[in-house]
């Protein structure tokens, strides 16, 4: 391998990157739209303000490329929160260490109860989520959870604290398929402001997590930034840069991108930089035009109307009826959520909406052969 991502990332300057995006012209956008294979300079043009008048064209191209590669399908998944214990302070999260909330970590029996609820609904792809509390929900707890449910789901993904390479190898051995690890923001100083305490305050340990995952041989890595903390265009450019680096170095691994925008929670942080619905559509389409094979995921953070539209413009997987509190489906429905979801429709309602739009709902697309 030539360089680590950190070596590449450190060559960039935030303000210069912003300026290089803001100064893209309509000619740059037309040039990018006309190409078969687009690079990161084209991506900058497609997310720039100059591309706004071309949104309809972007959306049509994104829709066409998504149908060409994925057909008329959409993948369903469900998040399952296992614990809200956390030793980090994150300014935007309801589970932050200093928030005085009742803490809960699911037992084996409670995990299985939640699993029964989700299996009943038809889910076969599951996303396990925990806070970062090493003593209670460290790698042993996660490993136990994966092993406990591996026979019930064909695809297990985690969104937990960043781990070391050997720990990922051990979890893959237990049946882990994918890991989501969002950088939150690639702006190092802003990152430090939003993560003042705990292991997560180490910007570079988080930045290098996808490298450790690639080395561990994970099947899929999910990237993203939390929009609202900093300029969404620059954070998206660095996400794309990260993606391209990883694809080059860990080419056997698949990749997905998520697009979380700040949602209300008990800490009440307001977005510093607003990202409008149209901006998010532009971004999703730009990622599709950058990479036809990329999985693009849409959570229940977004509104009904937004999700109804985006499923036909580029998104390839979607969650429904999500609970963002441990035990939220069946064990402790009233406990505090990590953030408020926006689309509260049931799984059945989402499936019906997707079918009405002519989409085939996919519950399972992977089998873990041992």
| Interacting residues with ligand SF4 (CB under 6 A) | 86, 88, 90, 93, 95-96, 131-132, 200
Residue among 124 and 235 whose Cβ is closer to ligand SF4: 235
Cβ-Cβ contacts under 8 Å for 103 (sequence gap 6 or more): 83, 84, 85
Cβ atoms 212, 256 nearer than 8 A: no
Q: What is the dihedral of CA 320, 323, 324, 327, to 10 degrees?
A: -140
Backbone phi, then psi, for 355, in 5-degree steps?
A: -65, -40
The nearest distance, CB 97 to ligand SF4, in angstroms, is: 7
The nearest distance, CB 94 to ligand SF4, in angstroms, is: 7
The nearest distance, CB 297 to ligand SF4, in angstroms, is: 18
The nearest distance, CB 93 to ligand SF4, in angstroms, is: 3
The nearest distance, CB 342 to ligand SF4, in angstroms, is: 18
Reading the block at residue 74, the tokens are 């959409």
Q: What is the dihedral of CA 85, 87, 91, 93, to 10 degrees?
A: -20
The nearest distance, CB 336 to ligand SF4, in angstroms, is: 12
Q: Is 307 helix (H, G, I), strand (E, B) or coil?
A: helix
Q: Where are the alpha helices (DSSP H) in 92-208?
A: 108-121, 134-137, 139-149, 165-174, 188-194, 203-207
Which of 137, 219, 111, 124 lies closest to 175 in space, CA to CA? 219
Residue among 95 and 237 whose Cβ is closer to ligand SF4: 95
Residue among 75 and 88 whose Cβ is closer to ligand SF4: 88
Residue among 46 and 86 whose Cβ is closer to ligand SF4: 86
Cβ atoms 81, 326 nearer than 8 A: yes
Residue among 36 and 98 whose Cβ is closer to ligand SF4: 98
Residue among 58 and 86 whose Cβ is closer to ligand SF4: 86
């Amino acid at each position: 391998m030539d360089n680590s991502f950190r070596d590449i990332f450190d060559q960039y300057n935030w303000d210069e990157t912003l300026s290089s995006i803001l100064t893209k012209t309509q000619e740059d956008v037309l040039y990018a739209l006309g190409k078969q294979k687009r690079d990161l300079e084209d991506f900058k043009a497609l997310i720039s303000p100059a591309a706004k008048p071309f949104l309809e064209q972007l959306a049509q191209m994104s829709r066409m490329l998504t149908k060409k590669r994925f057909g008329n399908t959409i993948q369903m998944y469900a998040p399952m929160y296992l614990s809200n214990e956390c030793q980090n302070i994150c300014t935007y999260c309801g589970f932050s260490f200093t928030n005085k909330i009742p803490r809960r970590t699911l037992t084996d029996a409670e995990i299985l109860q939640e699993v029964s609820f989700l299996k009943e609904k038809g889910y076969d792809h599951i996303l396990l989520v925990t806070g970062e509390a090493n003593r209670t929900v460290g790698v042993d707890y996660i490993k136990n959870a994966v092993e406990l449910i591996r026979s019930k789901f064909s695809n297990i993904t985690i969104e937990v604290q960043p781990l070391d390479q050997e720990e990922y190898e051990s979890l893959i051995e237990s049946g882990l398929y994918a890991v989501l690890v969002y950088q939150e923001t690639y702006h190092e100083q802003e990152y430090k402001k939003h993560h003042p305490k705990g292991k997560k305050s180490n910007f570079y340990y988080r930045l290098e997590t996808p490298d450790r995952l690639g080395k561990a041989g994970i099947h899929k890595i999910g990237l993203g930034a939390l929009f609202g903390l900093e300029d969404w265009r620059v954070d998206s450019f660095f996400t794309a840069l990260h993606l391209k680096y990883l694809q080059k170095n860990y080419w056997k691994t698949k990749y997905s991108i998520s697009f979380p925008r700040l949602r209300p929670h008990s800490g009440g942080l307001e977005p510093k930089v607003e990202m409008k619905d149209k901006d998010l559509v532009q971004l999703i389409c730009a990622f599709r035009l950058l990479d036809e094979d990329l999985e693009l995921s849409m959570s229940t953070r977004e509104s009904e109307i937004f999700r109804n539209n985006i499923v036909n413009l580029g998104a390839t997987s979607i969650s429904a009826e999500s609970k963002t509190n441990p035990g939220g489906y069946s064990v402790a429905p009233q406990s505090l959520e990590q953030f408020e979801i926006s689309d509260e429709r049931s799984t059945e309602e989402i499936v019906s909406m997707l079918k009405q739009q002519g989409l085939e709902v996919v519950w399972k697309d992977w089998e873990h052969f041992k």
